[in-house]
A and B are shown apart, each in its own frame.
Chain A
Amino acid sequence: MESISRNYRINKFFTYLVLILMAVVMLVPFVWMILTAVKTNQEAISVNPFYFLPQADWHWENFGKVWKSYNFITLYKNTILFIFFRVLCACLTATMAGYAFGRLEFPGKKIMFALVLIQMMIPSQIFIIPQYLMVSKLHWMNTTAGLVFPGLVTAFGTYLLKTSYQGLPKDLEEAAQIDGCNIGQTFLFIMLPLTRSAMISLGIFTALFAFKDLMWPMIVCPSAETTTLSAGLAKMQGQYGNDYPTMMASAVLAIVPMIVIYIIFQKQFVEGIATSGGKL
C-alpha cells in the first residue's frame, strides 16, 4: 500500500512540474511585454547591468502616450466595426444556408453542398489577388466594406450550422407545421433558437479570425487611419521598431481587449474552438 501512495505522490509531483514549467513558458512573453512597456528605453536596452524590473519608476504613462500618438481609438473603432460586420454577415448567411442544407429537400442541393465543401478545401491565399482587384474597382480601399468583403459568406460556417440543424429532432418541425407555421416561420422561431451554441461558436471563430488577420487588412487598408489593430502594429513596427517600450506598450494595448473578453467567456471560447475545429 505504501508504495502505491508513494508512486502516486511522485506521479503527481511530475505532473505539476510539467504543467507549471509549461505555464511559465507560456507566461514569460506576456510578462516581459508588460515589464518592457513600463520601462524607459534606456532601461530596456541596458545590458550591463541587465534589468528585469523597471528602475525606480514604473512608467505606466507609456500606455497613455502610445494611446494618443498612435491613435489607438481609431484602430479600436476600425477593428470593432470590422469584427462586428464579419460576425453579422457570417451568422446571417450561414444560418440560412445551413438550415436549407440541413433540413430542406430541393433540387440541386447535393451539387450546391459539394461546392461548399470544395471551397473549404481550397487554401484561401488563391482568392486574394482577385478579391483585392474587386475591392479596388469598387473603390472600397481603406473602408470597412473592403475589410469585410471576403467574409460576407462562409462555407465553413454553413457546414458547421448544417451539422447543427441536422442534429435537431424531426417532430419539432412537424409540430410547427401543424400549428400553421410556414417554412420561414418554422426556421426563424422554432429551429434557429435551438442552434444557439453553434452560432456562438461560429461568432467566436469569425471574430477571432478577423482580429488575428494580418494580410488582408494590410492589403486593403494601407492607411493608418483605416487599418485594424493587427495591421496597425505591423506599421508601427516598421516605423519605430527600435523603441522597445513603445512597441511593447502598443502590443499590450492591441491584445488586452481580446484577452479580457476571452477570460470572461472562456467556456464559450474553448468549446467553440473544440466543436468547430476549423482552420484558424
Chain B
Amino acid sequence: MWKKKMTPSQKRQAIWGWAFITPTMLGLIILNFYPAINTVYQSFCKTGDFGKGNIFVGFKNYSSVFAAAETWQSLWNTVKYMLVEVPLGIVIALILAVLLQKKLAGKTLFRTLYFLPMVCAPAAVAMVWKWLYNQQFGLINNTFHTNVAWISNPNIAWISVGIIGVWSIIGYNMVLFIAGLQEIPKDYYEAAEIDGASGLRQFFSITVPLLSPTTFFIVQTRIIGALTVFDLMFMVMDKTNQALNKTQSIVYLFYTYAFTNSNRGYGATLVVILVVFIMIVTFFLQKLEKKIVFYN
C-alpha cells in the first residue's frame, strides 16, 4: 500500500533502514521476546523427568509458589536488602559528589578510589567481604574486639550483605551525581551567594531541586537493581549458612529452583512473579516522578 506513494529516495531509506535494524530486531525477538513469552508459558508447566519436556499443569506452580513460606520470606529479604542499599548508597554518593565539586587537591584520586569497586567482579568483592566478616579470623571482629556472626546470624546477615552492596555501588551513583551537578548553572549559586545564603541553604534550595531528575533516575535504576540482586548473595551466603533463609533474594531462590534443582516450571513462576512485582513498583515510581521531580 505505502509502496506506491514512496519517492525513490524514501524507498532507498526504507530498504537501508530495514536492512540496518534487521539484525537487532531479529536478535531481540529470538533472544528476548520469545524467551519472555516462553518463560510465562513454562510457569504453567511442570518440567518432565530428566529435565525434558513440559507438562501443562495450569496454575499449580503458582499455588505452590504462593503457598511456600520461603517465597514470601525471600521477597521480604529482597525488599530489606533494597532498604539498606538504595538509601545509604544514594545519600553517601550524593555527599561525596557535592564535596568533590569544590576546588580540592587530589580530587581525581578520590574519585578514582570511590569508583574502584565498580570495575571489580562482584564474585571477588563478595569473597573478600566474606573474609572480612569472618567471625573467628575476620579483620572486622579482630579490629573492634567483637564477636559478631556477621553473615551467619539471621538477624543481621541481611544488613551485612546490604553493606557490601552499598560499598560496591557508591562510586557508580557518585559518578552519575557528578554528571548531574555539572549541569546546574553556576549563576544560581552566585546569585545565592550575593543574597547571603549559606552553603547548607544553597544545597537544599538549589542543588536538591535541580538535581532531582538525576536523583530520580538513580533511585529508579537502583531499586530495580536491588530487587534483582544475585551475585553478592550467592557468593556470600553458601548453602549451609543458617541465615540463608532469612537473607536470600528472590533471584537467588529462582536460580536454586531453575538451575540447581532443575525445576524449571517452578523457577519460571518465581521469575514471573518477580517481574510483575518490579512492574508494579515501576508504575508507582512513574506516578511519583510527576509529583516530586522538578524539570525546568
Contact = CB atoms under 8 A, between A and B. Distances in A.
Interface string A19-41: 10011011111101100100000
A155 B121 contact: no
Interface string B146-187: 000000000000000000000100111001101100000000
Contact of B255 (A15, A104, A215, A244): A215
Contacts of A108: 18
Given A122-B32, A123-B275, A247-B127, A129 B122 contact: no
Interface of A is mostly: helix
A80 interface: no
A105 B21 contact: no
Interface in B114-145: 114-125, 127-129, 131-132, 136-137, 139, 142
A23 to B, nearest CB: 5
A241 interface: yes
Contacts of A23: 110, 113-114
Interface string B75-95: 000000000000000001001
Nearest to A275: B179
Contacts of B17: 100, 104-106, 109
A47 B36 CA distance: 51
B131 A107 contact: no
Contact of B36 (A101, A126, A273): A126
Interface in A237-280: 237-238, 241, 244, 247-248, 251-252, 254-255, 258-259, 261-263, 266, 269-270, 273-275, 277-280
A161 B13 CA distance: 18
Contact of A234 (B21, B25, B27, B123): B123
A149 B132 CA distance: 36
Contacts of B230: 214-215
Q: Which of B13, B14, B21, B117 has the most CB atoms of chain A within a 10 A radius of its CB?
A: B21
Interface residues of A, number: 98
Contact of A127 (B14, B31, B102): B31
B245 interface: no
Contact of B131 (A15, A36, A119): A36
A185 B7 CA distance: 20
Given A23-B114, A258-B119, A158 B24 contact: yes
Contacts of A219: 259
B272 interface: yes
Interface in B234-288: 234-235, 238, 251, 254-255, 258-259, 264, 267-268, 271-272, 274-275, 278, 282
B211 interface: no
Contact of B267 (A15, A30, A100, A129): A129
Contacts of A238: 238
A212 interface: yes
A130 B271 CA distance: 12
A4 to B, nearest CB: 12
A14 B274 CA distance: 43
Interface stretch (A58-66, A89-97, A193-201): A89-97
B20 A97 contact: yes
A247 B131 CA distance: 9
Contact of A100 (B2, B16, B199): B16
B128 A15 contact: no
Given A129-B39, A129-B268, A155-B28, A254 B124 contact: yes
Given A125-B254, A126-B271, A277-B221, A251 B128 contact: yes
B35 A32 contact: no
Contacts of A112: 21, 25
Contact of A107 (B14, B42, B178): B14
Given A112-B21, A122-B36, A47 B16 contact: no
Contacts of A99: 20
B127 A26 contact: no
A152 B43 CA distance: 26
18 contacts: A15-B99, A22-B110, A29-B167, A47-B142, A105-B14, A106-B14, A155-B32, A187-B16, A208-B118, A219-B259, A230-B122, A230-B231, A233-B235, A237-B123, A248-B131, A255-B121, A263-B112, A274-B178
Q: Which 3 A-B pairs have the closest CB atoms?
A: A153-B27, A106-B17, A130-B35
